Amino acid sequence: MKLAVVGVGKLGLAILEGVTRRGLLSPSEIGLMDTNTERVARIAERLGTPVLDLGELGGAPTVLISLQPRVFPEASEWLSTATDTAHSGRGFISTMAGVSVKTLTRRLKTSRVVRVMPNLGATIGQSQTAITGTEAAAAHADTAFAHEIFGAVGQVYDLPEHLFNAFTGMSASGPGYAAVIAEALCDGGVRMGLPRALAHELAARLLMTSGALLLERAHPGLLKDEVSSPGGTTIAGLEVLEGSGVRGALISTVRAATERGAELGRDQE
Residues engaged in binding ligand NAP (CB under 6 A): 6-12, 33-36, 66-69, 71, 75, 95-97, 117-120, 172
- Using the minimum distance from each CB to ligand NAP, give the nearer residue, 11 or 199: 11
Sheet holding 3-6, edge to edge: 30-33, 3-6, 62-65, 91-94, 113-117, 127-133, 154-158
- Using the minimum distance from each CB to ligand NAP, give the nearer residue, 127 or 143: 127
- Using the minimum distance from each CB to ligand NAP, give the nearer residue, 146 or 199: 146
CB of 216 to ligand NAP, least distance (A): 27
Sign of the four-CA dihedral 128, 170, 188, 230 = negative
- Using the minimum distance from each CB to ligand NAP, give the nearer residue, 4 or 186: 4
Exposed/middle/buried for 123, CB within 10 Å: 0-12, 13-18, 19+?
middle
- Using the minimum distance from each CB to ligand NAP, give the nearer residue, 61 or 154: 154
CB of 247 to ligand NAP, least distance (A): 26
CA neighbours closer than 13 Å in the CB half-sphere of residue 229 = 2
Position closest to ligand NAP via CB: 9
CA atoms of 128 and 156, how far apart (whole Å):
6
CB of 236 to ligand NAP, least distance (A): 38
- Using the minimum distance from each CB to ligand NAP, give the nearer residue, 67 or 101: 67
CB of 231 to ligand NAP, least distance (A): 44
CA angle in degrees (0–180, nearest 5) for 260-144-7: 55
CB of 94 to ligand NAP, least distance (A): 8
The three-class DSSP label of residue 48 is coil
CA atoms of 26 and 144, how far apart (whole Å):
18
CB of 11 to ligand NAP, least distance (A): 3
Determine phi and psi for 118, rounding to 5 degrees. -90, -175
Q: Is 215 left (phi over 0), alpha (psi -120 to 50) or beta?
A: alpha
